[in-house]
Structures are given as C-alpha cells and as structure tokens.
Amino acid sequence: MNHVSAPHGQLVGYARTSTTDQKAGLAGQLRDLQDVGCHRVFSEEVSSVDKAKRVELERALDYVRAGDTLIVTKLDRLARSVADLVKITERLDEKGVALRILAMNLDTSTPTGKLMLNLLGSIAQFERELMLERQREGIAKAKVENKYKGRKPISDDKSGDVVRLRAEGKTVDAIIAATGVKRTSVFRILKEANAKAEA
C-alpha cells in the first residue's frame, strides 16, 4: 500500500478488538493502519456490546489536533452505533480533525466523505424519530385500552423492604437510609400496608 500523508498534521490510528476476537484481528488492524502511514496508533480490547469505557479511544480523541486525521479500518471498530459515530465525528469536527474509515473509503476531509457522514447522521436522526413515534403510538394505544400504567415508581419496587424494616423496629430515618426511598413514600407505603393488614 502507498503511504498517504495528511495535508497538515499527522495520521493517527485507532484499533479495537472485542474480548472474544482473536489477537490476529487486532494484529491485522495494526498492520493496515501502519501501511497507510499512521504515526501513532491507539489500540484496546473492549467489547462493542457492553458499556465499558473505551479508554484508548478517549486518549486518541484527546490526542488529535487540528489538521490531523484519525484513521480506523472499519466503522464497527470505532462506533457502537450510528448515533455514537455522529457524536465522535462532532468531537473531531470541533477540533478540526478529519476521519478516515478504510473499509468504506470514507474520508471526511473530502466533500464526498462529508456527504456520506451527513447521510449517516440523518439516518440516525430518522431512526430515533421513528422509535419515539412508535413509543408514543404504543402509549396512546395502551391508554385507549386502559392498559397504560406509566413508569412504576422506584419506591414501589422497594415497598417490601420498607415494610420488613419497619416490622424489624427500624425508624423511618433508618428505613430511608437503607432503601433510598423518600420520606413521603415511606409513610405512604406503611399506611397502605397497615390498611391491607386491617382489611
């Protein structure tokens, strides 16, 4: 492969492999990034599914400067979703840093690359609006059928703990400290429990 130099600044690579991937996957990414002339490469082993913090990605995003280009081999090595990609590219854009995704032949320093990225951002927004619309329709339908209960208060999940602690002789303050339930909710739960016991 021919080495491509950035018009200004340097080429910075980022490689990621999941905890289930073979080491060969990471080695292949590192080789490809070196082949295109990356001066500095950040790499890590983090799953794309879990919410674990991508420390090396953060370091790469902090490291790059105006005129630099951040390079990854594939889109899924960089972002966990289209929305995640949009956030990352916004950060890079604010710093004046271009993004290249080798497998997609996408380079945001070019007009075509910028257009492709804008399209991806539009798709992310479209997906979000569709999801919200489906959610609103689902709630409206549930309300018509008298099935909508709204979000269950956190205190309801802990009502059993509140009653048990009170039965053990704990004070209201001790119950609040142990469960995190608000004072008014503690009194409401105990009142309801007493009403049930007397019924």
Active-site choice (18, 47, 48, 109): 18
By residue count, the chain amounts to: 199
Q: Is the CATH code 3.40.50.1390 the one for domain 11-123? A: yes
Task: Tell which phi-psi region holds residue 169, choosing left (phi > 0), alpha (psi between -120 and 50) or beta.
Answer: left
* pLDDT mean for each 10 residues of the chain (199 residues): 54 87 81 95 80 87 96 90 84 94 90 85 76 84 74 66 88 87 88 78
Q: Where are the domains of the chain?
A: 11-123, 154-194
Question: Which residues 6+ apart lie within 8 Å of 187 measured at CB?
Answer: 172
pLDDT score at 22: 64
The beta-strand segments (E) located in the chain are 11-17, 40-45, 69-72, 98-101, 106-107
10 three-state secondary structure:
coil
Of 8, 19, 79, nearest to 44 (Cα)?
19
Of 128, 119, 125, 13, nearest to 61 (Cα)?
13
Q: What pTM was estimated for this model as a whole?
A: 0.58
- Nearest-Å Rg of the Cα atoms of the chain is 26
pLDDT score at 168: 87
Q: Say what the alpha-carbon torsion angle 123, 128, 131, 137 is, to the nearest 10 degrees.
A: -110
Concerning whether 155 is annotated as a catalytic residue, the answer is no
